[in-house]
Structure 1
Amino acid sequence: MIAALLLLAAYLVGSLSGSLLLGRLRGVDIRTQGSGNAGGTNALRTQGWKFALGTVLIDVGKGVLAVGLALWFGDGLAWLPWAAGFAAVLGHVWPLFHGFRGGKGAGTLVGALLVLWPVAVPVLVGVWLLVLTATGYVGLSTILAAAGLVPLALLTDGESPRLVFAAVLALFILFTHRSNLARLRAGTEGRFDRVRLWRRLRRGAA
């Protein structure tokens, strides 16, 4: 019963969408703008960096809170904090309080990892930055960064809950970014050309 309540609490915490809560204060719903997604990237493109920063802080913070609650009140169940992290990501993607239309889960995943597996966060961010500065595609960067959790779990002899969490979240992030992959195949995916540092370095060298 305690485990079920904590997982429900994690989902409800995850359902508190940063961009949609801040959007209510501004009188906007970013799901009607840009890509239509309620995540940090669309917040940046449509509302500016301050709004996007607030969105990311809330979305990361709810991942931290959901896992923290499971650790504090979970009676030492080893799998429960990992399951709570996933429940928070589910809440972010399908938020109860916002018509089940949320973001894609990356920010909340980072928040969960900060508590569950902090050494993975620099690796995750490093892969994300590497791909982003090479391609300019945020969605592709997020997919590959999440996929990198699986070999990291294997290389660090992760216990079973960590490996399962890494595999499930890598697949789930791939699922939530399926529209990005479709646009990549069609050649219509938006990109941040300003951050393509590798291209600038190649041009400078030439």
Structure 2
Amino acid sequence: MMEWLLVPVAYLTGSVCSAIIVCRLMGLPDPREQGSGNPGATNVMRFGGKKAAAITLLGDSLKGLIPVYVAQWLNVPVELLVLTGLAAFLGHLFPVFFGFKGGKGVATTIGVLLGWSWWLGLAMVATWLLMYKVGRISSLSALIASALSPIYAWFITGNSVIVIGAVVMTALLLWRHKSNIQRLLSGQET
């Protein structure tokens, strides 16, 4: 029964904002007050450079991966494994420590997917890299990679619970990117 503590702990882990911590430690401005105002790796890259962005990306991915990896290690049922990942993801989107105003969830999604299945996470990363190489638009690459993740989940894991988890994350990720989608449709996304 103690395994159910994984869900709130995962949410709290997801609520730790890597971008804000990295920017404070590196003497950079608060990412919520710079660029797009999003506390994520892409925005940190705009004003903090590649190193700060890479550390932010790693931190956001790990806070999705570690709780799921712990759940894997504890050999919990797949339903609890998926809930643990979703809790970490929701913590990133709606962090309790930062007024429930978080990032868009791409890196944390990657971490969660890697925890559910290494091949699933790697498929999303490979799709993002391919789309970015072709179009050079980070948000579009993330949207396409995320939209394909439930399909990848079905073919890679064959587990309907993981597919449902991927669908939920994709829906929330698309919702969090609604301003990016509007800019893409109007040709104004950089």
Does residue 181 (structure 1) correspond to residue 177 (structure 2)? The answer is no
Alignment RMSD (CA, Å) = 1.7
Aligned residue in 2 for 1:167: 167
Does residue 51 (structure 1) correspond to residue 15 (structure 2)? The answer is no
Matched AA of 1:33:
Q
Does residue 34 (structure 1) correspond to residue 35 (structure 2)? The answer is yes
Does residue 61 (structure 1) correspond to residue 58 (structure 2)? The answer is no
Matched residues in 1 for 2:93 and 2:69: separation? 20
**TM-score between the two structures when normalised by the length of structure 1:** 0.85
Matched residues in 2 for 1:188 and 1:98: separation? 29
Report % sequence identity: 38
Aligned residue in 2 for 1:94: 94
Larger radius of gyration between Structure 1 and Structure 2: 1
User: Would you say the 8 A contact 2:153–2:163 is kept in 1?
Assistant: yes
Matched AA of 1:177:
H
Q: What are the equivalent positions in structure 2 for 1:9-24 lying under 5 Å apart? A: 9-24=9-24
Matched residues in 1 for 2:146 and 2:120: separation? 10
User: Would you say the 8 A contact 2:20–2:31 is kept in 1?
Assistant: yes
Tell me the secondary structure at the aligned position of residue 118 of structure 2.
coil
Matched AA of 1:167:
V
C-alpha displacement of 1:145: 0.2
Give 5+ residue unaligned stretches, structure 2. none
Q: 1:94 to 1:155 in 2, by over 3 A?
A: same
Give 5+ residue unaligned stretches, structure 1. 191-206
Q: What are the equivalent positions in structure 2 for 1:68-147 lying under 5 Å apart? A: 68-73=69-74, 76-147=76-147
Matched residues in 2 for 1:110 and 1:49: separation? 19
Tell me the secondary structure at the aligned position of residue 188 of structure 1.
coil
C-alpha displacement of 1:157: 5.8
C-alpha displacement of 1:136: 1.6
Q: 1:157 to 1:56 in 2, by over 3 A?
A: closer
Tell me the secondary structure at the aligned position of residue 77 of structure 2.
coil
User: Would you say the 8 A contact 2:61–2:110 is kept in 1?
Assistant: yes
Matched residues in 2 for 1:3 and 1:173: separation? 27
Matched residues in 2 for 1:99 and 1:123: separation? 33
Matched residues in 2 for 1:146 and 1:11: separation? 21
Matched positions, count: 189
C-alpha displacement of 1:3: 4.8
C-alpha displacement of 1:69: 3.0
The Cα offsets for residues 113-133 of structure 1, whole Å up to 9 and x where unpaired, read as 222111112221221122212
Matched AA of 1:91:
G
